Chain A
């Protein structure tokens, strides 16, 4: 069941919103991998797919977080550092996932999906939204 990007997720900064949408697309692709893999756990092909998904997540994280951080700095956002800490924790978690996929026999896409889901709910929809509100008030972006 794919997650549909909803305007509700928008924080009101176009560049960031487009990147968030790509995160949701990535999440959808990962869940698809999971749904299609039936009972063949440990399958090398699935493992490779998972690994590529994690790599994509890593790529997303680095590009996207730096974009957000620039907006925060340029608008002198007070919560910048706390926010950035969450970004770094995410990146470190992605590094861990990479290791896990490479080293372990058992693959658990559900773990990856849960991680991404909780990020969507706990970070994008809350913490990023808070920044979006600040930014709009500060810079006067029309929403």
Chain B
């Protein structure tokens, strides 16, 4: 427990702080101490490295104190029925995409990371491009099913797909040109979109197909 108090102190917050408070404190400290922020000042860089070590250790331990956090899925999970629409090929693609997205979020989209390194930024950018590629491929599959089954809401549904693709292209651009947009923001936007879309529109389509198959 002593250690725990020490960790709170390292982040400059009171013991028992809430999850958002911990995240916020961590984010602020990283912005102040990250060694990459002082490329021309070796002494501060060294100081920054030491501070970052303390901060990271404290953060990791404190995060471990929130075990109930359902952090790994965009609300619910793959085991969550809300994500299973009952068309095998589509469900499989959803699963692959969700895994891809989770990897993105867990690797790059910690609320605290500031990407200063250009190569890392490029890597993240490429990852976003790849997600867009997969999303597109997946939309084509869904739309083929819709045409095949004469889905009456095809156009409406497809419009949503196009909207999302446009949004992804916009995010790519913003991420490329603007340092304010973090992978964390992107991750939040994608996460809420897919959760809403799969649970509502895709489910509706799944029910339609399964009703037809029953007849």
Q: Which of A84-114 contact B (CB under 8 A)?
A: 84-85, 88, 91-92, 95, 98, 102
> Chain B binding site: helix, strand, loop or mixed by DSSP?
helix
Flag the segment in A9-17, A21-29, A66-74, A122-130 that touches B.
A66-74
Flag the segment in B74-82, B95-103, B124-132, B194-202 that touches A.
B124-132
Whether A70 lies near B129 (C-beta < 8 A) is yes
Taking the closest CB of chain B, its distance from the CB of A53, in whole angstroms, is 15
Taking the closest CB of chain A, its distance from the CB of B162, in whole angstroms, is 5
Task: Output the nearest chain B residue to A52 by Cβ-Cβ distance.
Answer: B147
Task: Output the nearest chain A residue to B133 by Cβ-Cβ distance.
Answer: A66
Indicate whether B32 reaches chain A with its CB closer than 8 angstroms. Answer: no
Which of B129, B136, B140, B166 touches A92 (beta carbons < 8 Å)? Answer: B166
Taking the closest CB of chain B, its distance from the CB of A65, in whole angstroms, is 10
Indicate whether B193 reaches chain A with its CB closer than 8 angstroms. Answer: no
Q: How far is the CA of A81 from the CA of B177 in the complex (A)?
A: 9
Q: How far is the CA of A88 from the CA of B125 in the complex (A)?
A: 16
Taking the closest CB of chain B, its distance from the CB of A102, in whole angstroms, is 6
Q: How far is the CA of A63 from the CA of B126 in the complex (A)?
A: 15
Taking the closest CB of chain A, its distance from the CB of B170, in whole angstroms, is 9
Q: How far is the CA of A63 from the CA of B176 in the complex (A)?
A: 20
Taking the closest CB of chain B, its distance from the CB of A39, in whole angstroms, is 28
Whether A95 lies near B162 (C-beta < 8 A) is yes
Indicate whether B181 reaches chain A with its CB closer than 8 angstroms. Answer: no
Whether B140 lies near A59 (C-beta < 8 A) is yes
Residues of A within 8 A of B140 (CB): 59
Whether A62 lies near B133 (C-beta < 8 A) is yes
User: How many residues on B have C-beta within 8 angstroms of the other chain's C-beta atoms?
Assistant: 16
Taking the closest CB of chain B, its distance from the CB of A56, in whole angstroms, is 11
Q: How far is the CA of A92 from the CA of B168 in the complex (A)?
A: 12
Residues of B within 8 A of A63 (CB): 133, 136
Given A73-B125, A81-B176, A81-B177, verify A88-B133 contact (CB < 8 Å).
no
Task: Output the nearest chain B residue to A80 by Cβ-Cβ distance.
Answer: B176
Taking the closest CB of chain B, its distance from the CB of A105, in whole angstroms, is 16
Q: How far is the CA of A30 from the CA of B54 in the complex (A)?
A: 64
Indicate whether B173 reaches chain A with its CB closer than 8 angstroms. Answer: yes
Residues of B within 8 A of A70 (CB): 126, 129
Residues of A within 8 A of B166 (CB): 92, 95
Whether A91 lies near B169 (C-beta < 8 A) is yes
Task: Output the nearest chain B residue to A102 by Cβ-Cβ distance.
Answer: B155
Residues of B within 8 A of A98 (CB): 162
Residues of B within 8 A of A84 (CB): 173
Indicate whether B122 reaches chain A with its CB closer than 8 angstroms. Answer: yes
Whether B126 lies near A88 (C-beta < 8 A) is no
Given A81-B177, A88-B169, A91-B169, verify A62-B136 contact (CB < 8 Å).
yes
What would be 24 A-B contacts, judged by CB atoms less than 8 Å apart?
A: A59-B140, A62-B133, A62-B136, A62-B165, A63-B133, A63-B136, A66-B129, A66-B132, A66-B133, A69-B129, A70-B126, A73-B122, A81-B176, A81-B177, A84-B173, A88-B169, A88-B173, A91-B165, A91-B169, A92-B166, A95-B162, A95-B166, A98-B162, A102-B155
Residues of B that sit less than 8 Å from A by CB: 122, 125-126, 129, 132-133, 136, 140, 155, 162, 165-166, 169, 173, 176-177
